[in-house]
Amino acid sequence: MSELEPQALAPAPASAGAGASVSTKRPRHYSLLNRRDKTLLAIMVGVPLAIFVTLIWAMTLVSIVWSFTDWNGTDPMHFVGLDNYTQLFTTYPFFWPAVAHNVMWLLFFICIATPIGILLAVLLDRPLRGSWIYQSIFFTPVVLSLAVVGFIWELQYNAQDGFINSVLMAFNVVKPNSTIDFIGDPSLNIWAVLVAASWRHIGYIMVLYLAGLKSVDPSLREAAAIDGANERQTFIHVVFPVMAPINVVIVVVTVIESLRAFDIAYILNQGINGLELLSTLIVNTMLSEASLIGFGSAIAVVLLVVSLVPIVLYLTRVLRSEDI
């Protein structure tokens, strides 16, 4: 693809003048675009489209094809029908927990983390002394590298000498041999990870929403105030509806973040023992030394199907609103 890009860019400056002279000489087909324009358009649309098709759609289709094989990356590929899916849905014990954890992730983000981020944004949008300090504090986790985030939470959660357990021990809430095993207890660790992930997500949502709030016309608030609305009413009936485009972005971001949930779970324990996610399963089975490409592709296809649900909902909504 790369060798095509210069062509796409190079003719651009010349096209305008040349195009005008050509079109006057050839009146046969009336068109807003002359041949050069069309070529240029074809390249400008075609190149990105080709990249998109090869890197996204072709890859997706290849994954789908692989998911029906037992390929391991080196040996000849055999088609095994639905075997990989049967195994996933019936005997492989880490699949359904992974699906459940992804769903929990989504619900937790939508119901708890995102609303908290919005709430923080609304609070910080008010004239507040040192507002930027709070913003920085809440936004810091988003800037930190994932390795650092994982390390920070490891220090908080460790069952032997983690910060939380040390504090609880100091107040005699837990005893040294019955500390809370945030990372190792498979019924608890997903919640611990959700808290850690929310710590980042809240800051992200806050900044996005704050940017949106800054762009709301102040006269709307004034009008609402004159009409006697209190702050809560103003937000619910005036600001929130005006923020509709941002709200859609927030929802999309939240869903995307939930579906691509991976990093903190992977850093804490490689996504095993209660921290299974579809993404960590894919990485652990496909990309590791295990190299179960067929089996991993089947998991990836499941993740694709799951991802399609919000994508389709979003697209239908967007397309419908364009029709109006």
Partner 1 sequence: MDEQEKRVGMLSGGQVTRREVLKKGLIGAAGLTVLPAVIAACSSSATPSPVATITPTTPPAATPTPAGPAVTPAPTTPGAPTFIGPLTGQLTVGSNHSDASEVAGMASIDAAFKTATGLDPKVNKVDHNTFQTQINSYLGATPDDVFTWFSGFRMRFFASKGLATAIDDVWANVSSNYTAGFANAVVGDDKKVYGIPVDYYPWCVFYRKSFFTAKGYTVPATWTDFLALCTKMQSDGITPVAFGDDGGWPAMGWFDILNLRQNGYDFHVGLMTGANKWTDSKVTDVLNLWAKVVPFYLHGYAGLTWQKACDSLIQQKSGMFLLGLFMTGEVATVDAANKTTVLADIDFFPFPFMGNSFDAEKALDAPIDIWMASSKSTTLQADLTNAKAYLEFWSKGSTQVLMYKSQPGFIPTATDADKSSYDVLTAKAVSIVSQAQKITQFLDRDTRPDFAGTNGVGSFFLTFLNNPSQDLAKFQKSVQDFWDKLPVYTGA
178 touches partner 1 (CB under 8 A): yes
Q: Scan residues 113-152 and list those touching partner 1 (CB under 8 A).
A: 147, 150-151
DSSP string, 73-121: SSSPP-B-TTHHHHHHHTT-TTHHHHHHHHHHHHHHIIIIIHHHHHHHH
Q: What is the pattern of x (binds partner 1, CB under 8 A) and - over residues 14-43?
A: ------------------------------
How many CB atoms sit inside 10 A of residue 212's CB? 21
Does position 72 interact with partner 1 (CB under 8 A)? The reply is yes
**DSSP category for residue 69:** B
- Cα 231 to its chain centre, rounded Å, is 32
| Eight-state DSSP code of residue 176 | G
In the region spanning residues 265 to 284, those forming contacts with partner 1, defined by CB under 8 A, are 267-273, 276, 280-281, 284
Given 292, 300, 301, 302, the residue binding partner 1 (CB under 8 A): 292
Least distance in angstroms from the C-beta of 67 to partner 1:
14
Asked if 100 is part of the footprint of partner 1 (rule: CB under 8 A), the reply reads no
Residue 244 binds to partner 1 (criterion: CB under 8 A) = no
Q: How far is CA 269 from CA 97, 186, 260, 264, 265, in A?
A: 16, 11, 17, 9, 6
Task: Give the residue among 110, 107, 121, 109 at the shortest CA–CA distance from 240.
Answer: 121
Q: Which of 89, 184, 307, 311 binds partner 1 (CB under 8 A)?
A: 184
Q: Is 131 helix (H, G, I), strand (E, B) or coil?
A: helix
> Which residues in this chain contact partner 1 in the complex, by CB under 8 A?
70-75, 78, 83-84, 87, 91-94, 147, 150-151, 154, 157-161, 176-179, 181-186, 189, 267-273, 276, 280-281, 284-285, 287-292, 294-295
